[in-house]
Structure 1
Amino acid sequence: MKGSRRTTLPAGLAAALTLTLSACGVPPSDVIEAGEPASVVRHPTPEPSVPVVASLYFLDDGALTAYPRDIGDPADLGSVVAQLFRGPTTGEAATAITELPRLTDTPGVTADGGNRVSIKLPQGVAPLSHPAMLQLACTVAHASGPFAAPPADAQRDAAPTAPPVDAQRSPAHTSVRVLGDGWTLTQSADSCPDLGQP
């Protein structure tokens, strides 16, 4: 009894639906095959990026001091240097000062594939002080990640451009060459704090 009621109920609904549609002027039709049911293609969810922390060197009561800074992902040496030139954050400024000037344009950063990094500054920047050069050398020595390609105009005066490569250099043997408007300074990182000698 129950089985027959289940069979007649859908048939009754179908008849009622047919009557309703024909009353509205819709002619009855046979079942139309529409193919396979719709499916959803799921793409793998990308892994969330892990922020990269770099040590930016500022001066705390005259002493070079590392300040950890989240620089995003992926990290590149160009963005580390750019953040260093922006100076201490509001929170860091309670103890940190910088000898580096604020720049109007992003500096060009190149590497020779070894331990030497060149930084091309925009026009009009005066020669950097010794503490400022140490800030750059120590920050670069502690940084890791791919080197950023330099701007096209920086390639004329800078060292030969190497393609972006992972930092495979000895931190203690890193040297930074800064190219200004009519001047060049070089600073090694051998006197930076917290550098393990090989």
Structure 2
Amino acid sequence: MKRLDRLSRLGRLGLAAVAAVLLTGCGVRQSDVIEAGAPATVTVFPDAEQRQILFFVSSEGRLTPVAGGVFVDREGEYDRKVPGQTALMMLLAGPSAQARAAGLHTELPRAAGHIGMKSGTDQVSVRVPVAVRGLGKTAVRQLVCTAAHAEGGDGTAEVTVAGDDGRLPAMHCDA
């Protein structure tokens, strides 16, 4: 009987301990929201006016945007807008060694010579020193998408490409 009384007493003590824990909660008091200011911001890459998006081709044959063409002044500050002609020269020079190592290539022939570019609000005209009529669809899209994103564009501009053998119909970047 003494043993049964001892178990009952232990059971009651256990129930009392569980009830005490449940009634006191976890000990964290409720508080108001504490304002800590705006979220932290970090410049991961320069903005659109200081870099250029070039379009190369992945190993699966898909058009792939690659950020490049960052201009830095002598003090290490990003200070100039990337001219569209420079972006197209970079595109015609082909992907960098780092981009090639990542599996990117170009469908465009290497070319050197004068590149012309005129851009307006929603239209871009480019002249490249290659024959454009015989280029494949992917090569043309590389030119069109790079030109549509040139000089901080958002890629929605209508692009007309002209080359050594004539002009292609105006088109949009559908990448």
Partner of 1:125: 131
Which has more helix, going by share of residues?
A: 2
Report if the CA contact (8 A) 2:124-2:148 is conserved: no
Q: Which residue is 1:100 aligned to? A: 108
2:64 corresponding residue in structure 1: 65
Contact 1:71 1:79 in 2 (8 A): no
Q: Does 1:184 align with 2:143?
A: no
Q: Does 1:138 align with 2:145?
A: yes
Which of 38, 52, 55 aligns to 2:53? It is: 55
TM-score by length of 1: 0.52
SS state at 2:52 partner: strand
RMSD: 2.3
> Does 2:134 match 1:109?
no
Aligned residues: 117
| Distance 1:93-1:116 versus aligned 2 partners, 3 A rule | same
Structure 1 segments unaligned to the other structure (5+ residues): 1-49, 146-166, 193-198
Percent of aligned pairs sharing the same letter: 29
> Is contact 1:119-1:179 (8 Å) kept?
yes
- Structure 2 gaps of 5+ residues are 1-45, 72-79
